[in-house]
Structure formats: C-alpha cells, structure tokens
Amino acid sequence: MTTTAMKKPVIKKRRDIVFPIVNTCILIILCFMTLYPVLNTVAYSFNDGLDSVKGGIGLIPRKFSTESYVALIEDPAIYKAFLISLSKTILTTLLNLFFTGMLAYALSRKEYMLRKFITMVLVFTMYINAGLIPNYLLISKTLGLKNTYWVYIIPTMFSCFNMIVIRTYIGGLPDALVESAKIDGAGDLRAYFQIILPLCLPVMATVALFVAVGAWNSWFDTYLYNGSKKDLYSMQYLLKMKLATTQNQASNAAAASSEALAAAQKSKTTPITVRSAITVVSAVPILVVYPFLQKYFVTGMALGSVKG
Amino acid sequence: MTARSISNGATASVKKPGKLTRLGRQWQLMIMSVPMLLYVLLFNYAPLWGWMTAFQDYTTKKGFVNSPWVGLDNFKWLFSNNDFLLSIRNTLAMSLINLVFGTVSAVLLAVLLNEVKNRKFKRTVQTVTYLPHFLSMVIVVSMAQNLFSSNGAINDLLKSLGLVKEPVFFLGKGEYFWWLVGVINVWKEVGWGTIIYIAAMTAIDPSLYEAAAIDGAGRFQRILHVTLPGIKSTFMVLLIMNIGHLMEAGFEIQYLMRNGLVMKYSDTIDVFVMIYSFGGSRPHYAYGVAAGMFKSVVGIILLLGANRIAKLLDEETLI
C-alpha cells in the first residue's frame, strides 16, 4: 500500500517532464516539415541552372546564382502580370468589403423584415452550386465578360461565408450603439458607416485577408476566360504555364533531363529554376502580409465557423 | 402601391402600420442588402437555369431555347462512359483520404498545441503551420514538383536511408496519385484545420481539468476524457459538412498535377467536366452540365442524409 502510494507521484512527475519535451520536439519537427518545401524551392530558385539539373538540392543552393531572377526581371510579361494580379487583388478586396459589410449589417438588424428571407437565399448558395459549365456560360456568353479585365472582379464580389463572419461580429457588438445613433436621428446607413464600421476593423481585416488571398491566388479565371489575352495574364497563370513545361521533366526524368541539360547549356537558367523563382515571387506578397493579420483571422475563423 | 399599404394598414391593429409601410421605413436597410440579393440571384441562382442543358443536345449557336431535347440521353452517355465512372471512383477515393487524414491530423495537432504552455512557442508553431493554407495551389504544386521529382529531396532522403535504390517516380505513377494528393493536402491544411478545434478547446471549462487531475487522471486521461469530449460537437458539425462535400475532392490540385501517366487516377468529376466540355473539337457543354448536376444533387443528398443520421443519434446538427 505505502509503496504504491509513494510511487504514484513519482511517475506522474516524470511524465510531466517527458511529455512537454516530446511534444515540443514533435511540433518543431512539424514546423521543419512545413517550411522545408518552401525553403527547398527558394534554394532551387537561387541555384545555377545547369547545376540544378543534377538534383540533390536541399535547404541551401549548391551553386549560388541569381540568373533566374535576372531572367525574370528582364521579362516584361512578369511586370504586367504582377500589376494585373496586384490591381485585381486590391479592387476585389475593396468592393467585396464594401458590399459584404453593408449586407452583413443589414442582416444583423433584427427588426429588418427581409432578414430571414435574404439570409435563407444566401445560405442556400453554400450548399448548391450550378457547376462549372452553367457559370461559364453565364459569365462568358450572357454577360460577355470573357477576354475582359472585369471577369476578375465582378464574379467574385460576394461570399456567404465572409458575410456570416462579419454578421456574427456585428451581432456581438452592443445593440445600444445603433439604438442611440438612431435616437440622435441617424439612419441605418449612417449608423453603419460612422459607428459600426470603425468598430469592425478586426473582422474586416480578417475578411480582407481571405478575399485578397483568394484574388491573388486565382489562376483558373485567367485560364478559363482570358487564356488568349496575354495582356490580362496574372502571376499565378504565368506560373501555371511554367508548371506545364516542367511537368514532363518531373514525371519522366530520364528523357527530359537531357533536354533540360541542352537548354541549360545555352542559357544559365533552366525551366525548373525559373519556375522556382516565379514561385517565390508570387508567394512573397502573401508571406509578407499574413503574419501581421494572424491575431485577427484566428478569431474571425472561429466566429464564422461556429455560427456558419 | 399606396392603396395596398393602406388596406394592409386597415387590417392590422391601429398602432402598427402596414407591412409595406414598415418595410418602406427600412429603405436604408434595403439599399444595403437588396443589390447583393440581386447579385446572388444572378450569379448563384441564374446558372441553375443552365441545368436544362443537361437534357438537351446543346450548342451555343442554338442556345437554351432552340436546342433539341434529348431526355436522359446525356446521363445515359455519362454512365456508359468509362472515364466518368473512373472519375466518380477517384473523387470518392480522394475525398475519403482527405477527410480521414485531414480530420485526424487536425485533431491531433490541435491536442498537441493545446498542451503547450509557452504562449510564444504556441503562436510560432501556429504561424508556421497556417502558412501553407495561404499559398495558391499552383505554388504548392510547383514546390511538390521540386520535392517529389526523381532527383528531388524526397528521393534523396529515401536513397540515403537505404529504402530505395532507384528513384521512385512519385509524379508519374497512377497508384501513388491519391496518396500524394492526400499528403499535399494535409501539409497545406493541417494547421488551418486546427483553428476551429483550438477555439472549441479554449471554451472548455478549466475546472473540468482540475477536477480530473484531483481524481488522479494523468495527462492522457485528461485528453481522452476532457479535451476530446469537449470538441465533440464541433467535430460532428464539421463531419456533417465534410460528408456533404464528399463529391468535392478538389479540382485545382488534380488538374495541375495530372499527366498522361496518371490520368486514370487523377481525374475527378470536376476534371472530367473540364476535359470533356472544352477538350474536344467542339465544346460538349451538355455532358459537363449533366456531370456537374449529378455531382451537386448527390452532394445535397449526402448532406441531408448525414444531418438526418446525426439527428437520430441525438448529436449536434447543421440544419
């Protein structure tokens, strides 16, 4: 009896030391595994083209070279694509926040008579989707947005999930804010823009991040609607095209590496290093922005998912 | 308009004005919401009209109105097409792999993170593991091509560990495709998936842990009997949602990673729609519409079914 009673606390104590150490190790390994592919691609992008064909590149470039980035800088198509990507991201985000925010406010007002009806219509869209072709026919044939810049902006102005995130946040604000504004003679538009919107900064930052990332990352819209308009190519689409050229090399190394070798001997880059460089360039804006918004989007996500 | 609102007002009690008058007073709220309602009706509901083409021999020249009706011929063609049947198999296989791997890994990581006492370390791990969620699929596939190519880092590792002698063609073998997609998806989404579970865990009453500790529960028993039951309702809601999305195995990753060698395993229903609608000498939209419609309807049935079962089991439900 006494021995077991004495033993128990000892075991417990040892476990309390062992578990945190093991846990920390697991999490550090996990972080390493998460970052490895990113750093590996950065290493490829800074590696000499001819040398990279031999493979075996890990975390640091074996033969350092900035030729791939020089090749990018000398390519005017990259600038254009970067500008297109940037402008469509900013425009989509602003319009999306403007409309989604107003809608979320209106649907948070309990006295609004159309509240239930509109909410139902919107939530239904989360579960049913007409599919690729009907959407394509609507956007390209009926609305005539094919081969225009506006196909990046207009079809992406609303997402029900984001609306729910904002609405839930507004629902958590004290009702008295709007009530007192109304007593002072403000309408709903003023109550929203002057009182509620400034308080919604955290949730707006969250939604802005979601929308901006979606807009920056999309390539399929370019592929489907603007594939023949070189002026309207986005960064992600340029990268997608580069993927196709290195696809065979990755799946069938023997045949392609001689081809890549021949190409590399002519220039100092290979499709692989150039593709890696574009990958890095198109990922950088997101890597720079997102850590600053982390504290916002975590709460935003939790809010939206609980109510959604 | 006015006549109706007056008559409505007459039937209602004296104090309460008619419905339309009351709605009229909410014109500002209507300005804020009705344009978006119309927008959603146009972009989300109007395309449903296009489902008609699933029953037509549709050509863009003739349009919805003049294309001849063919009954269920498009569906008959689909279900006698081997590629379509394979695409159903691939869709279900990849979504099941994603569902199981994705859920298990996210819950596991959330539990591990929940046990971390050092806030700074916890935040750093979260920042790092959320990161891939924000990268586009094109970027991710580009990285995967470097990593899994025959002289990439994974093959180097396998060789140096002595597990293989010749490099493995991960990207060129159909049998590996589903698992490769599963691994990449877990890498991309595991951190993001923990957010909801961690939120649910922080809502657990701390006194439950204290009570368990006093009763002599060790760390693993506390996880098993306090933490996991605490996230059960969240888990169920997500499970129902995911079952509703079983027909959505994804499109981007498969479309970007497919090549002639893995086609039999890579093509999901969405990829099939893309290839068969746009790939031929003339676009065959009707096949694509029929396949998309099939997918959507099955998805709804799955969602309602899962919701029903959860209700019968007296669990948290979605609808």
Question: Other C-beta atoms within 10 Å of B254: how many?
Answer: 26
Gap between the Cα atoms of B116 and A202, Å rounded: 26
User: Are the Cβ atoms of A56 and B156 closer than 8 angstroms?
Assistant: yes
pTM, entire model: 0.86
Minimum Cα–Cα distance from B168: chain A residue: A251
Q: Which residues of B touch A286 (CB under 8 A)?
A: 134-135
Residues B171 and B307 in one domain: yes
For A89, the enclosing helix (H) or strand (E) is: helix A76-108
Cα separation, B142 vs B148, whole angstroms = 10
Residue B60 lies in a domain: no
Q: Are the CB atoms for A107 and A163 separated by under 8 Å?
A: yes
Residue B165's SS3 state is coil
A60 vs B: CB within 8 A: no
Taking only the tens of pLDDT, chain B with its 319 residues reads 444 444 444 444 456 678 888 888 889 999 999 999 999 999 999 999 888 888 988 887 787 788 888 888 889 999 999 999 999 999 999 999 999 999 999 999 999 999 998 989 998 999 999 999 999 999 999 999 889 988 888 988 998 898 888 888 888 888 999 999 999 999 999 999 998 899 889 889 989 999 998 988 888 889 999 999 999 888 888 888 888 889 988 899 999 998 888 989 999 999 999 988 887 777 788 889 999 999 999 998 998 888 888 888 776 666 5
Query: pLDDT at position B12, please?
Result: 45
B293 touches A: beta carbon within 8 Å:
yes
d(CA A209, CA A215): 10
pLDDT for position A294:
79
Interchain contact B152–A (C-beta under 8 A): yes
Q: pLDDT tens per residue, chain A (308 residues)?
A: 444 444 444 455 556 788 889 999 999 999 999 999 999 999 999 988 888 877 778 888 888 888 889 888 888 889 999 999 999 999 999 999 999 999 999 999 999 999 999 999 998 888 788 888 999 999 998 899 999 999 999 998 888 889 998 998 898 889 899 999 989 988 999 999 999 999 998 889 889 988 999 999 999 999 999 988 889 999 999 999 888 777 655 545 544 555 555 555 556 778 888 889 999 999 998 888 887 887 777 766 666 554 44
Residue B159 falls within a domain, yes or no? yes
Whether residue B67 lies inside any domain: the answer is no
The closest of B193, B167, B211, B34 to B110, measured between CA atoms, is B193
Whether B117 and B176 share a structural domain: yes
> With the C-alpha atoms ordered B262, A129, A233, A292, is the resulting torsion angle positive or negative?
negative
| Same domain as B134, residue B272 | yes
Tell the residue number behind the tokens 């059960």, with chain if given.
B232
- Whether B196 is covered by a domain: the verdict is yes
In B, which residues are within 8 Å of A187 by CB distance?
28
Asked if residue B239 and residue B298 are part of one domain, the reply reads yes
- Residue A71 is which amino acid? A
Q: In this structure, is residue B61 part of a structural domain?
A: no
| Element holding A201 (H helix, E strand) | helix A201-217
Q: How distant is the Cα of A11 from the closest Cα of chain B, in angstroms?
A: 10
pLDDT at B181: 95
Amino acid identity, position A61: P
Distance from the Cα of B297 to chain A's closest Cα (Å) equals 8
Nearest alpha-carbon partner for B244 in B196, B295, B197, B304: B304
Distance from CA of B198 to the nearest CA of A (A): 9
- Asked if residue B62 belongs to a domain, the reply is no
Helix (H, G, I), strand (E, B) or coil at A47: strand
Domain that holds residue B155: 73-312
Q: Taking a C-beta distance cutoff of 8 angstroms, is the pair A109, A150 a contact?
A: no
B124 and B252 both lie in a single domain: yes
What integer pLDDT is reported at residue A1 of this predicted model? 42
Q: Give the pLDDT confidence score for residue A308 in this predicted structure.
A: 40
Phi, psi of A64 (to 5 degrees): -65, 140
pLDDT tens per residue, range B26-41: 899 999 999 999 999 9
Residues B147 and B180 in one domain: yes
| Residue B141 C-alpha, separation from nearest chain A C-alpha, in angstroms | 8
- Backbone dihedral angles phi then psi of residue A102, each to the nearest 5 degrees: -60, -45
Q: Does B124 share its domain with B42? A: no
Residue A127 is predicted with a pLDDT of 79
Check residue A220 and give its pLDDT: 93
In residues, how long is chain A?
308
**Total Cβ atoms within 10 A of residue B154:** 19
Q: Residue A281 and residue A70: Cα distance in Å, rounded?
A: 12
Interface test with B, best of A89, A133, A247 (most B CBs within 10 A): A133
Nearest CA to A118 among A108, A127, A128?
A108
The predicted complex's ipTM stands at 0.84
Domain count of the fold of chain B: 2
B50 and B115 within one domain: no
Q: How far apart are CA A25 and CA B220, in angstroms?
A: 18
Same domain, B212 and B247: yes
The interaxial angle of helices B137-148 and A201-217, nearest 10 deg, is 60
Amino acid, single-letter form, for residue A258: S
B112 and B184 together in one domain? yes
> Could B199 and A99 be called an inter-chain contact, meaning their C-beta atoms sit closer than 8 Å?
no
Find out whether B276 and B122 touch, Cβ atoms under 8 Å.
no
pLDDT of residue B114: 92
Task: Compute the distance between CA of residue B91 and CA of residue B83 in angstroms, rounded to an integer.
Answer: 12
Smallest CA–CA distance, residue A134 to chain B, in Å, is: 5
Interface of B with A in 22-41 (CB under 8 A): 22-23, 26, 28-37, 39-41
Is residue B81 a part of any domain in this protein?
yes
Residue with tokens 């993170």: B113
**Residue A156, token pair as written in the block:** 């992406």
What was the pLDDT predicted at B9?
A: 43
Q: B109 lies in a domain? A: yes
Is some CB atom of chain A closer than 8 A to the CB atom of B194? no
Nearest CB neighbour to A251, from listed B45, B169, B291: B169
B82 and B109 within one domain? yes
Q: Which residues of B touch A250 (CB under 8 A)?
A: 145, 148-150, 171-172
Residues 6+ apart with CB under 8 A from A35: B128, B131
Helices (H), B115-251: 119-130, 137-148, 153-160, 174-202, 206-214, 219-222, 228-230, 232-244
Interface of A with B in 277-296 (CB under 8 A): 278-279, 282-283, 286-287, 290-291, 294
Element (H, E) at A302: helix A271-307
What span, in angstroms and rounded, lies between the C-alpha atoms of B59 and A196?
50
For residues B40 and A155, what is the distance between their CA atoms, to the nearest angstrom? 10
Domain extents in chain A: 70-308
Give the three-state DSSP class for A187: coil
Q: What fold does the segment set A70-308 form as a domain?
A: MetI-like fold (1.10.3720)
Alpha carbon distance B128, A37 (integer Å)? 13
Amino acid at A308: G
Q: How many CA atoms lie within 13 A of B172 on its CB side?
A: 15
Residues 41-60 of B with CB under 8 A from A: 41-51, 53, 60
Q: B47, A54: Cβ pair inside 8 Å?
A: no
Maximum CA pair distance of chain B?
A: 89
A141 vs B: CB within 8 A: yes
B40 and B81 assigned to the same domain = no
* Nearest of B16, B17, B18 to residue B8 by alpha carbon: B18
Q: What is the CATH number for B233?
A: 1.10.3720.10
The torsion angles phi and psi of B262, rounded to 5 degrees, stand at -115, 5
Q: How far off is chain B from A184, nearest CA to CA, in Å?
A: 16
**Looking at residue A31, what is its pLDDT?**
96
Give the residue carrying structure tokens 């997402």.
A159
